Structure 1
Amino acid sequence: MMLLTKDHYIQLKDGVFDETSKQDLDHLFEALAADPHQDHIVLNFHGGLVSVEHARETAENLMQRFQNVNTYQIFVIWETSVPEVIDQEGGVFSFVEAQLLQIAKEGIFQQLLMQVLQFARAKVASVQAGGVRAVGGGLDLPDEDDVWQEMHTPEDGREPFANVQPALPAHEQLQDEEREQFFQTLTTNPDLQDEVQKVVNGYRQAGQADASSPQGMARGIEGGESGETAPTLISPDVMEQMTQQEDQASRGIGGSAIEFVAGKAIEVLSHVIDRFAQKTDHGLYPTVVEEILRAFYLASIGKHVWDHIKQEVTDAFNQPDHGGSLFLKKLQAYYQDGHHPQITLVGHSAGAIYVCQLLQQIKKILPEDVTFNVVSLAPACTYKLFADTLKACQERIAAIRIFAMDDQREQADVIVPNIYTRSLLYLVSGVFEEVADTPILGMERFFKTQALVNRWSEIPQILEYLNTSQRNNVWSIVDGGDGLSSHAEHHGDFYRETFTLTSLEYILTNGLG
């Protein structure tokens, strides 16, 4: 029997009702007022990187699981337009996974990855050896074949270069002679030159095929020559600059495409070294991958999806007739009718962003004595958003509990083996947010790394708040007793793993005391 009806969920897209309506919302609150469990509401927010179908399936499973718990379950299902992608072998991958798999096949990505890894590895070795230099003053580079083999041969789940500890002194930077050595190495690398030319040729051909557009016409002018092509997911703005450089070079008025690529690669290597020095790296291999993605592929890798997810939350509340705003008005009326329910807010992954926004909005419309229990499952919100929420309405949070993986398991929750060898939250922190290694609430890394605590002003504030009780944080895998256990080993486990759901059931029955 299906338990999930419109009396238990609203569905929003771009902040407005989609497949449910204001009338459905009115009926939901009428059903709530008539229900025996009207005084204990659980408001659930799923994560952002899931389809509507998956969100509904999860909601139905939770309805089934908690049907004997004395609560009234309400689900906010929010469409984030995240497609599922089917590869040629018939496997189903998320958008982010599919893009990473495609990028990893690109020759230009492989060449950039190999060269940046080679120099980053050499820089770490040089500093750790007391500044030992090669003849001529540059870095003593490891053999390219050895780097290439390390990139491609791990088959036991081991991360490439996992044995390298890339810590550098806080003042360490890429030196001028190292920049020049790197630039010369890249611009004289025939394999990289070939791959750059292939993607430029492919981009020009794409412009000719779409010659009706102004950009297409501009690219088509220089796109007549023949040559081997290669598709690429390099961001369009980067490809445009690369192609313009090549066009100008052909007229003798500027640098070539390979020089442009080398210049951006220098920025990548500089950022990698800076992150090693500032202790904001995610390990040698993941950090290099992250910085290449940030410099060359940011528009394609999924940042626009992540930005859209956050905008979906904002849109729910930014107009009085949008779904989030109307829900809060109905909740306000529910209180004015004499109801005083206990409300538990449960947010998984990006659902924690929704919880933060909801709390900030609630302060404006509900009585001061209305408070909420908060349960965050692998929260993907930033420390800054959570700190802003505490500043705005900490008094509205009666109690909180965060379930997340310890850092060892977070690192082991690999998105795509041998391509991006860390978890979704690491990818959000390292690539999708504006600053690399942005603190994310669901990552234990930011609870225990002193260098990071000192670097971000929000971290001490949040740690002081959360460390008031050892019961506020549950780091899986742990058997902590009633309401404090989790065996989740993957980001998506928290809404389906038995120990976590048993803890959640205990919390819904007995509270967070």
Structure 2
Amino acid sequence: MTDIAAPRIIHTGPDGTLASTSAEQVAAIAAEVARSERAVLHFHGGLVNEASGMATANGLAPVYAEAGAVPVFFVWRSGFLETVTGNLREILAEDIFGRMLKWVLQFAVGKVRESGGGRAFGGIEPAPGDEVDADLHARHADLVPFAGEGAADISGVSQAERDAFERVVSADPQLRAQAAAVLAGREPGPREPGARGIEGAGPPVATRMDPGVLDELAREEEVEGGRGLIGTALLARKCASVLVHVVARFRAGSDHGVYSTVVEELLREFYLGSIGAAVWAAMKGETADTFAAGTQRGGRLFLDGLAAALATDPHRPQLTLVGHSTGAVFIDNLLTELGRMHGAGTLPDGVLVRNVAFLAPACTSAHFAAVLGGQPRLFERFRMFTMSDEAECADRLLGAFYPRSLLYLVSGILERDAAGASACMPLAGLARYLTLRADAPTDLVGVRDFLLELGTDRLVRSPSSQDAPLGMRSGALTHADFDNDPLVLASLRHLVATDHA
């Protein structure tokens, strides 16, 4: 390759294996990077499909070439945004979701408003139903329900409060009818032939509710016995768990506002599979799988080819890694693999990444903290471009129906804790985690202190001030803007081209 502005593309598919790129092409790219003075390895995010990833490579290659760098792009399976937004719209439109949302929201708002005095329903005085209806209807006018409501000093949900909530919800005839309709509308299963109709079901209704939840509901219908009645005790118990989790998040300071938090916890309890959790997990998994042993894995072939080329040449290129959104997860895994290679003695001496640039990173704080804690640190300079929390909250995924950004959704629903369970997990790219409580976990404190260390210029909050210096400018106001915003691109070009940026 002689045209420096032409993108060098390593295209991978399932499990990080090569797709349209051959092993010979990867080896040639690695050798060219080894010979270069500067090279940029760019990892696109999970918002785009493969075709858009290719278009991003063609658009950004000249930017990096202008900085004197060989532009290399890892293009991989994603297209996550289309999946999650489409599914979320369908779920929010379901009548049964809306009914459960109203119940939990009534009591969650009542809980965050709690003060001295008597309580109805075992201690929680729920928000009036007509107030909740009005706030939910106002979403059509782009007004967020119960915006500004919240309190971190509320008490947890007591057993008496939980029991009272379950009694009220389980007695709701409208919820019973909706449950019967979705159960009647599920695809026929082994028990369906010869089964009598479900009393009160009305026309069958399709749902995106998780199959496991529907199976539980069907078992409860059978237990209710012979009359074909649907019980709502299961839904009431699950809604009570949602209420408990919402209140617990307020107490822990991990809420996303009362309405958004209720939506997130309902999705986690009833719709986790449909909202895209499996897609998210698989997409992240491929950013690690590509470095596993195997003759056709793109990341493995590139790193091995680079190490082999540098082993016989004292020249060391200046490498810059740029990762947008899930691309930051890719970079975390790449740096981890470089550390492993260094420890195993398979990485030549002196190989060091000059710059790491995160663009609205979707990696968890814990994942990034593990990279920062690795020894030796294999990069010199770091810069993160991400939105201020005000701008992040204004980047609404679905208007007032889900009035938070994609990163908030990932943090609030799709991530998993150390035990593998769905949990609200802080992301490195969410600016809200730059302000922490005294009891914040060590990994959050470590990431914050790293980003805000005096004299390092590691953090750019978007939109940046008009007098921000070169290399520290950003005008991005949506998650998707960061790899095409002119100010961000100028900052990246400056970072790549200069020794002191």
Settle same-fold status: TM greater than 0.5: yes
Aligned residue in 1 for 2:426: 439
Q: 1:259 aligns with which of 227, 230, 233?
A: 233
- In structure 2, how many angstroms separate the alpha carbons of the residues matched to 1:380 and 1:218? 43
- In structure 1, how many angstroms separate the alpha carbons of the residues matched to 2:140 and 2:237? 33
- In structure 2, how many angstroms separate the alpha carbons of the residues matched to 1:4 and 1:68? 9
Aligned residue in 2 for 1:130: 116
Q: 1:197 aligns with which of 174, 180, 192?
A: 180
- In structure 2, how many angstroms separate the alpha carbons of the residues matched to 1:200 and 1:465? 51
- Check whether the contact 1:166–1:284 (CA below 8 A) recurs between aligned residues: no
Q: CA deviation at 1:28?
A: 2.5
Aligned residue in 2 for 1:188: 171
Q: 1:223 to 1:45 in 2, by over 3 A?
A: farther
- In structure 2, how many angstroms separate the alpha carbons of the residues matched to 1:77 and 1:359? 18
Aligned length: 480
Instruction: Tell me the amino acid that sits aligned with residue 190 of structure 2.
Output: M
Instruction: Tell me the amino acid that sits aligned with residue 113 of structure 1.
Output: L
Q: 1:303 to 1:378 in 2, by over 3 A?
A: same
* Larger mean Cα displacement after TM superposition, 106-115 or 145-154: 145-154
Aligned residue in 1 for 2:373: 391
Kindly indicate whether residue 128 of structure 2 is the aligned counterpart of residue 143 of structure 1.
yes
- Check whether the contact 1:475–1:486 (CA below 8 A) recurs between aligned residues: yes
Instruction: Tell me the amino acid that sits aligned with residue 460 of structure 1.
Output: V
RCO comparison, higher one (Cα < 8 Å, 6+)? 2
Aligned residue in 2 for 1:367: 348
- In structure 1, how many angstroms separate the alpha carbons of the residues matched to 2:31 and 2:416? 43
Instruction: Tell me the amino acid that sits aligned with residue 175 of structure 2.
Output: L
- Helix, strand or coil: the match of 1:142? coil
Q: 2:281 aligns with which of 307, 328, 333?
A: 307
- Helix, strand or coil: the match of 2:98? helix
Q: Deviations over 1:296-322 (max 9, x none)?
A: 000100111110111111210122322
Aligned residue in 2 for 1:42: 40
- Check whether the contact 1:56–1:77 (CA below 8 A) recurs between aligned residues: yes
Q: 1:142 to 1:8 in 2, by over 3 A?
A: same
Give the percent of matched residue pairs that are identical in Structure 1 and Structure 2.
33
Q: Deviations over 1:354-396 (max 9, x none)?
A: 1011111112132343211100000110111111112224521
Q: 1:68 aligns with which of 66, 80, 85?
A: 66
- Check whether the contact 2:39–2:72 (CA below 8 A) recurs between aligned residues: yes
Q: CA deviation at 1:257?
A: 3.8
- Check whether the contact 2:7–2:57 (CA below 8 A) recurs between aligned residues: no
- Check whether the contact 2:138–2:144 (CA below 8 A) recurs between aligned residues: no
Q: 1:244 to 1:219 in 2, by over 3 A?
A: farther
Q: 1:69 to 1:294 in 2, by over 3 A?
A: same
- Check whether the contact 1:360–1:393 (CA below 8 A) recurs between aligned residues: no
Aligned residue in 2 for 1:406: 388
Kindly indicate whether residue 25 of structure 2 is the aligned counterpart of residue 9 of structure 1.
no
Instruction: Tell me the amino acid that sits aligned with residue 370 of structure 1.
Output: V
- In structure 2, how many angstroms separate the alpha carbons of the residues matched to 1:384 and 1:392? 12
Q: CA deviation at 1:140?
A: 2.5
Q: Deviations over 1:118-141 (max 9, x none)?
A: 011111222xx225413x744322
Aligned residue in 1 for 2:28: 27
- Helix, strand or coil: the match of 1:392? coil
- In structure 1, how many angstroms separate the alpha carbons of the residues matched to 2:402 and 2:280? 17
- In structure 1, how many angstroms separate the alpha carbons of the residues matched to 2:377 and 2:33? 26
Aligned residue in 1 for 2:150: 165
Instruction: Tell me the amino acid that sits aligned with residue 137 of structure 2.
Output: H
1:50-449 alignment, distance < 5 Å: 50-80=48-78, 82=79, 94-126=82-114, 129-134=115-120, 137-155=122-140, 157-169=142-154, 172-203=155-186, 206-207=187-188, 216-220=189-193, 222=195, 224=197, 227-251=202-226, 257-321=231-295, 322-338=297-313, 339-363=315-339, 364=341, 365-372=346-353, 373-435=355-417, 436-449=423-436
Aligned residue in 1 for 2:495: 507
Q: CA deviation at 1:512?
A: 5.3
Which structure 2 segments of 5+ residues have no match?
418-422
- In structure 1, how many angstroms separate the alpha carbons of the residues matched to 2:184 and 2:300? 50
Instruction: Tell me the amino acid that sits aligned with residue 9 of structure 2.
Output: Y
Instruction: Tell me the amino acid that sits aligned with residue 402 of structure 1.
Output: M
Instruction: Tell me the amino acid that sits aligned with residue 66 of structure 2.
Output: N
Q: 1:33 to 1:374 in 2, by over 3 A?
A: closer
- Check whether the contact 1:10–1:20 (CA below 8 A) recurs between aligned residues: yes
RMSD: 2.2
Q: 1:139 to 1:362 in 2, by over 3 A?
A: closer
Instruction: Tell me the amino acid that sits aligned with residue 379 of structure 2.
Output: I
Q: Deviations over 1:213-244 (max 9, x none)?
A: xxx21344536558421110111111111111
Instruction: Tell me the amino acid that sits aligned with residue 144 of structure 1.
Output: G
Q: 1:113 to 1:433 in 2, by over 3 A?
A: same
- Helix, strand or coil: the match of 1:489? coil
- Check whether the contact 1:425–1:440 (CA below 8 A) recurs between aligned residues: yes
- In structure 2, how many angstroms separate the alpha carbons of the residues matched to 1:458 and 1:220? 54
TM-score, reference length from structure 1: 0.89
Instruction: Tell me the amino acid that sits aligned with residue 509 of structure 1.
Output: A
* Larger mean Cα displacement after TM superposition, 352-361 or 368-377: 368-377
- In structure 1, how many angstroms separate the alpha carbons of the residues matched to 2:236 and 2:458? 47
Aligned residue in 2 for 1:473: 459
- Check whether the contact 1:6–1:24 (CA below 8 A) recurs between aligned residues: no
- In structure 2, how many angstroms separate the alpha carbons of the residues matched to 1:484 and 1:294? 37
- Check whether the contact 1:43–1:343 (CA below 8 A) recurs between aligned residues: yes
- Helix, strand or coil: the match of 2:398? coil
* Larger mean Cα displacement after TM superposition, 151-160 or 366-375: 151-160
Q: CA deviation at 1:448?
A: 0.8
Q: Deviations over 1:171-227 (max 9, x none)?
A: x21123322221122112122111111111112xx11xxxxxxxx213445365584
- In structure 2, how many angstroms separate the alpha carbons of the residues matched to 1:275 and 1:294? 14
- In structure 2, how many angstroms separate the alpha carbons of the residues matched to 1:355 and 1:395? 13
- In structure 2, how many angstroms separate the alpha carbons of the residues matched to 1:262 and 1:508? 56
- In structure 2, how many angstroms separate the alpha carbons of the residues matched to 1:360 and 1:333? 19
Instruction: Tell me the amino acid that sits aligned with residue 442 of structure 1.
Output: G
- Helix, strand or coil: the match of 1:229? coil
- Check whether the contact 1:271–1:291 (CA below 8 A) recurs between aligned residues: yes
- Check whether the contact 2:34–2:310 (CA below 8 A) recurs between aligned residues: no
- In structure 2, how many angstroms separate the alpha carbons of the residues matched to 1:44 and 1:54? 14
- In structure 1, how many angstroms separate the alpha carbons of the residues matched to 2:479 and 2:167? 42
Q: CA deviation at 1:247?
A: 1.4
Aligned residue in 2 for 1:89: none
Instruction: Tell me the amino acid that sits aligned with residue 174 of structure 2.
Output: D
